[in-house]
Structure formats: C-alpha cells, structure tokens
Amino acid sequence: MENLLKNISETISNWGFLAEYNNLIARLILVIGVIILAIIANFIAKRCILKLVKTLIEKSKSTLDNILLNERLFQRLAYLAPALVIHLGIGIIFPDQEILKELLHRIVNAYMIFVTALVVDAFFNIGLKIYDRFPLSRERSIKAYIQVAKIALYIITIVFIIAMLMNNSPWRLLSGLGAMTAVLMLVFKDSILGFVASIQLAGNDMLRKGDWIEMAKYGADGDVIDISLTTVKVQNWDKTITTIPTYGLISDSFKNWRGMTSSSGRRIKRSISIDMNSVKFLSKLEIDKLKKIKLLSNYLTKKQKELAEYNQEQNIVDDLDIFPTNSPNSRNLTNLGTFRAYVKAYLNAHPDIHKEMTLLVRQLAPSAEGIPIEIYAFSEDKNWANYERIQADIFDHLLAILSQFELRIFQSPSGQDFQMIKS
C-alpha cells in the first residue's frame, strides 16, 4: 500500500500543466486515497474478516470462543485496521513537513493506545467470565480486583495518551500524580473503600456469591447475586434488588445464612405458650387414659415405676383423706411434664426431623404470657417451602392435642371474648 501511494505521488508530480498546483493537488488526492483505503480496510476487517470469524465460532463446539465473541474482542481489534492505514499514509502525504507529520502521528498513536486499552479491557472481561465457570468463583469472587485493574488500566491509558499528545515522557506525568493524591483519593473514595472491604470479605470468607444474607439497615433479605468493587447486589425474596455498599458490609453487621444452607438441616425454633392455670398433677385415671397414646405408653409405664420406687424408699404414703388426688409429699406426674415428653417422642418419630442434630423440648421462663414450651430441632429438608410446611404441620398437631393433656393455650383475649363476658 505504501508503494502504491508513492507511485500516485510521483505520477502527479510529473504532470507539467499542473506544476503550479502540484503539491496541493497531489496531497489532496493522496488524502482522499488514504481515506478510501482506510474505509476499505475498515470494511474488510468488520464485514469480511469479522463475519468469517463469527461464522467459524458459531460452528465451533467449544464455548470458550463464544466468550471472546460476546465480549467484543474481535470488534475492538477491528478498530485498529483503519488507524494503521492512516498511520502509514501520513508519512507519504506529508513527507517534508515534519512538525505536521509528527502531530498527526501522535494523534493516531493516541487513538491506537485507546483501542489497545479497550482490547485489554475485553481480555479482563474474558478472564472473569472463564473464572466464573469454576466452582471456586462462588467462594472467591475476583470481580472487585478486575475492576481495580480496569481503573488502573484506564488511568495509565489516559496518562500515556496525554504524554503522547504533549510529546512528553509518561513517567514524568506519572510522577506528577503524587501531587494530586488528595484529589484522586477524594474522587475514588468509594472505590478505595470498596477495594479494602472486598479484600477483607474475601480474606475472612465473610461473603460469597449465592449466600443468603439479611441486613435490616438496607432492607436486604435474599441471595447475593453480584459482588463488585463498590456494591453488593442482593435479590430479595420478593425479587426486588437491594444494592449495598461493599464497605457497608464491613462497617455494619449482617446475618449470613450460609452455615444453615451448608449444614444437613434447617433449624426450627418456636414456642407454644401454656396457660399456667391449666397445669396440674395427673390422677391415676388420667395416666391410664394417656397410656393409650402409643408414643407415651412406655414413658408413662417407666415413669410410674420410677416414682413408685422412690416414694416407697422415702416411706411416702398418699394422704388420700386429706389430698383426694395426689399427695404433695410424693413425687407425681404433671400434665405439662407429660406433654413435654410427648412432644419429644413425637419429634423423634417424625420422619422429617433430623435425628443427628440437636433436638430439645424445653420450658422457658414463665411470663405474663404464660409458660413457653419451646421446640428446638432441625428439619432434614432445607427447602424454604417444605421447611415451612413441616414446621406448620408439627405445631398444628401439638395445638390440637393439647386438650388431651387438659392444658390450655394462652392467648390475649379478643373482641369475641369480651362479647361473651358481656352476654
């Protein structure tokens, strides 16, 4: 191409009848020729070569080349074709004008530096997409580091472009940036804080992509879908997106449910409030009735034997003439204690309760709302919908069977209760 332009220039210089305007017309024709060649180079790069590459990639079975295409790597490389033509043509159009030739070369070089930065940016994106394909990416996100590298890339690119246009050393400009440190820290404050926070989050394994987190301050309750340099995106259960500053996860507290999801069960922790006025000793008749409940039969038989032996050892005799039901001098079964034993046996027999994890049925401190009987157990199914169904079924059953133990649930009086008192 360079020889072609030289031949055109020599031919025009031999036209004697245009000797007076030789240089002007020659350069004008050469400029038009260079522009036409640049357009042709751009057309060949984008319409022919790029189309051919795209066709080959679509036919290929590999998915790696699809990433190269989606991140516009080849499209960005195609931007260099017309610039190279213009860069070669400048020396031929202005062979004797060093200042103008150097200035135009600097402008074209600055453009090529910018395009090169775009190509490197595409490689960063490609590397991130490839990394995200590995399971390790869920544990260690590198998106924040890629973004820091991009910021550094474009800062260096801007410095080199300015140095190229000013015909100065880029290292002198970089050394001069030290005086602008305060301004740069102010401009990139969020980026710097986010970078430091992302290092802490990754180093301490505090947050991963896919984790379920709760952060009341920002109204976040859902799965982490993206961790970037300055923000963390959380998709809430209502499908809304909450954006949290990355450094906010370090400066404030949040709850990460990863421990639950990675364990073999999901915790059930809920209590039933019992009316204290309904708690009493069980009579022999009531015990015999409860023995008919399969889950309680062995427990009551064993407990009766244990209490009888204890009372006999202590020479305790029921004073039936004074205490018709149960003597306070002896050990006796209560309906509340028997109910707790039933709940424990019911949970142990439940097919959806994890038997290898903690299982407690405990009595909490009495309050104005009654005596709380709390269930602390783990369901084997961690799926949210199934977990809620299992929990609801358990408490449906326990609320329904309370009356068999002559226990009453405690609840605040409603409007209907007051209407009944009035009537």
Mean pLDDT of the chain: 80
| pLDDT for position 31 | 74
Please report the domains of the chain, with CATH numbers, ordered by start residue: 2-133 (no CATH), 201-257 (2.30.30.60), 268-422 (no CATH)
**Burial class, 277, CB count within 10 angstroms (exposed 0-12 / middle 13-18 / buried 19+):** exposed
Are the CB atoms for 348 and 355 separated by under 8 Å?
Answer: yes
DSSP E strand boundaries for 120-277: 212-215, 220-227, 231-236, 241-245, 255-256, 266-274
List the single range of 18-22, 77-81, 156-160, 313-317 with lowest mean pLDDT.
Answer: 18-22
Alpha carbons 246 and 37: distance in angstroms, whole number: 50
Strands 371-379 and 360-363: antiparallel
Q: Among residues of the chain, what percentage have pLDDT more than 70? A: 83
| pLDDT for position 353 | 93
Whether pLDDT at 293 is above 50: yes
Name the nearest CA neighbour of 131 among 245, 224, 209.
Answer: 209
Q: What is the pTM of this model?
A: 0.54
Are the CB atoms for 95 and 2 separated by under 8 Å?
Answer: no
Tens digit of each residue's pLDDT (9 = 90 or more) over 189-246: 777 777 778 777 776 778 888 888 899 888 899 999 888 878 889 999 888 999 998 8
